[in-house]
């Protein structure tokens, strides 16, 4: 049997590379990033760079904005491809295995399990998260409020895989490294089948705290 370490949110937050989230959090509080996140929330993505520039304050110079967008891409706060922002964590423009539904049936896609858990705290609204067990593929669906996951999350667990290459873009590997599992048994079964995977497990409640820590308040009045 492979060893499975179960960590708390505080223990996870102390781990590399999650510590990098502290500097990214500061970056996400910039008006430019909040504009991008708000646009993803309201309209979905991808977002053409011309739109971001046109929606920015009139005193902002296009060259400076372009440089700022390039810097945000390099910091892995957003991803720019073919003149469009196609990822702005927690949002991905393309469908992912992590669907987040707002009231009224508006769907957005998150980049990984933690990002999905961070959206309700980020926008200050309840959402429904739909994903699947990374072990058996069974669909998982549960609610989350800005403060906690719903009781319907039950025994769901999250695996925080360690990324092999810190230099690569998070999104290229997040899907396979931060995932939901139906239960601790399913996480253990997957772990036994993947003994070389580096990382740790957490209950969905503790994983939610990590998502809250990364994204909480960014698009709410308290976050300004
Ligand atoms: Zn399963």
Q: How confident is the model over 120-141, as pLDDT tens digits?
A: 999 999 999 999 999 999 999 9
Q: Is 218 left (phi over 0), alpha (psi -120 to 50) or beta?
A: alpha
pLDDT of residue 104: 87
How many angstroms is it from 31 CA to the middle of ligand 1?
40
| Helix, strand or coil, per DSSP, at residue 39 | helix
Express each pLDDT in 44-70 by its tens digit: 999 999 999 999 888 888 889 999 999
Q: What is d(CA 160, CA 78) in angstroms, rounded to the nearest whole number?
A: 21
Distance CA 224, CA 218 (A): 7
pTM over 0.85: yes
CA dihedral for 184, 187, 191, 192, sign (positive or negative): positive
Sheet strand arrangement including 178-181: 178-181, 157-161, 199-203
136 CA to centre of ligand 1 in angstroms: 4
Dist. CA 102 → ligand 1 center (Å):
25
* 187 Cα: distance to centroid of ligand 1 (angstroms): 7
Residue 157's pLDDT is 98
What does the alpha-carbon distance between residue 136 and residue 113 come to, in Å, rounded to a whole number?
16
What is the block-wise mean pLDDT of the chain (224 residues), using blocks of 10 residues? 90 77 84 95 94 88 90 92 95 95 93 95 97 97 98 96 58 70 97 91 97 94 54
**pLDDT of amino acid 59:** 82
Ligand 1 centroid to residue 180 C-alpha, Å: 9
Calculate the alpha carbon distances from 91 to 23, 72, 110 in Å. Answer: 18, 15, 5
For residue 190, report the distance from its CA to the centre of ligand 1, in Å.
8
- For 153, which DSSP code? G
- Give the β-pairing of 157-161 and 84-88: unpaired
From the CA of 186, how far away is ligand 1's center (Å)?
A: 5
């Amino acid at each position: 049997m492979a060893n499975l370490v179960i960590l708390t949110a505080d223990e996870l937050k102390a781990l590399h590379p999650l510590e990098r989230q502290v500097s990214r959090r500061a970056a996400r509080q910039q008006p430019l990033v909040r504009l991008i996140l708000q646009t993803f929330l309201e309209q979905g993505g991808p977002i053409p760079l011309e739109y971001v520039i046109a929606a920015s304050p009139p005193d902002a110079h296009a060259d400076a904005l372009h440089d700022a967008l390039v810097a945000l891409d390099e910091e892995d706060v957003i991803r720019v491809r073919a003149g469009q922002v196609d990822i702005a964590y927690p949002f991905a423009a393309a469908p992912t295995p992590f669907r987040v539904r707002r009231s009224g049936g508006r769907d957005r896609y998150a980049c990984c399990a933690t990002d999905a858990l961070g959206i309700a705290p980020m926008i200050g609204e309840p959402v429904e998260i739909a994903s699947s067990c990374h072990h058996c593929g069974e669909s998982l669906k549960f609610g989350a409020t800005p403060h906690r996951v719903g009781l319907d999350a039950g025994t769901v667990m999250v695996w925080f895989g360690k990324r092999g290459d810190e230099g690569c873009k998070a999104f290229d590997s997040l899907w396979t490294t931060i995932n939901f599992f139906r239960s601790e048994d399913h996480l253990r079964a997957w772990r036994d089948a993947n003994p070389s995977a580096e990382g740790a497990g957490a209950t969905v409640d503790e994983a939610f705290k990590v998502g809250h820590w990364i994204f909480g308040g960014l698009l709410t009045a308290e976050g300004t």
